[in-house]
Amino acid sequence: MNILLSGCNGRMGQAVVRQAAEAGMKIIAGYDMNAVKLNDFPVYDNFEAIAEAADLVIDFSHISATPQVLEYCRAKKLPLVLCTTGIKDELEAKVVATAADIPIFKSFNMSLGISLLQALVRQAAKVLGGAYDIEVIEKHHNQKVDAPSGTALMIADAAASCLDFQAEYTYDRTQEHKKRDRKEIGIHAVRGGTIVGEHEAMFIGPNEIISISHSAQSRELFANGAIKAAGFILDKKPGIYNMDDLVSSLSR
């Protein structure tokens, strides 16, 4: 499989370069606003200049690049593994519209373990949700620009989907002086040092705490997930696919 790698010169881009080599997949070109050649493929800072014919695009860049990435994939009819985080509102609508024409694999967390954690959170929320307070804590390195992480929101959404009331997400308790409402799901971001990514869902009840957590120990984990997603999506019909689709295809 020939891959066009968007965001190729970033931390995740370089992890994908290493993982693709291990998986025997070829990166034939890169796209990055910082168009320096770091590896054995050409790097472009605009899509129009790309001459190489890819089978698929993997994107780990920034939301400022997402519209161009979507346009390119649609024009060339290329499947897209979209890993950039922070996509919402209008941009999310653009992703959905583009998925009418091409397959898009989209996940804010490409680790199989996080997909399992979400399944466990759904189960815990079904059993404990009404009676226990739910809080999600995420921790990342000090270079991360968006907060809370997309994964923390995915975990909160997993819990919320199993409650028999409409949950309210609370990110900040400094502005209102009131007791915690039972419908709240608190979401908190810690930033510091070189933490790759830690997520914890806490179900806090009378006299006990159930905590479900995941710790990513290296970026290679996400790069490896993106490569697996690429293999999964290559021959799929247009539409949006996610980690649950990949995990269920593996567990069949």
Rg over alpha carbons for the chain, rounded to the nearest Å, is: 19
Task: Please indicate whether residue 141 is annotated as part of the active site.
Answer: no
Give me the half-sphere count of Cα atoms (radius 13 Å) on the Cβ side of residue 47: 18
- 197 dihedral zone (left: phi>0; alpha: psi -120 to 50; beta): left
Pairing status of strand 103-106 against strand 133-140: unpaired
Binding pattern for the stretch 80-99 against ligand NAD, x by CB under 6 A and - elsewhere: ---xxxx-------------
Q: Smaller CB distance to ligand NAD: residue 83 or 128?
A: 83
19 binds ligand NAD (CB under 6 A): no
Whether 50 and 31 have beta carbons less than 8 Å apart is answered as yes
Select the span of 31-39, 122-130, 179-187, 244-252 touching ligand NAD (CB under 6 A): 31-39
Kindly determine how many residues on this chain lie close enough to bind ligand NAD according to the rule CB under 6 A. Answer: 23
Pairing status of strand 26-31 against strand 43-44: parallel
Q: Smaller CB distance to ligand NAD: residue 39 or 126?
A: 39
Task: Please indicate whether residue 199 is annotated as part of the active site.
Answer: no
41 binds ligand NAD (CB under 6 A): no
Tokens for 211, please give them.
Answer: 């905590």
236 binds ligand NAD (CB under 6 A): no
Comparing every residue's Cβ against ligand NAD, the nearest one is: 10
32 binds ligand NAD (CB under 6 A): yes
Q: Smaller CB distance to ligand NAD: residue 45 or 181?
A: 45
C-alpha dihedral (150, 30, 105, 97), degrees to nearest 10: 90
Whether 83 and 226 have beta carbons less than 8 Å apart is answered as yes
Chain residues in the site for ligand NAD (CB under 6 A): 7, 9-13, 32-34, 60-62, 64-65, 83-86, 107-110, 222
Query: Which amino acids are annotated catalytic?
Result: 140, 144
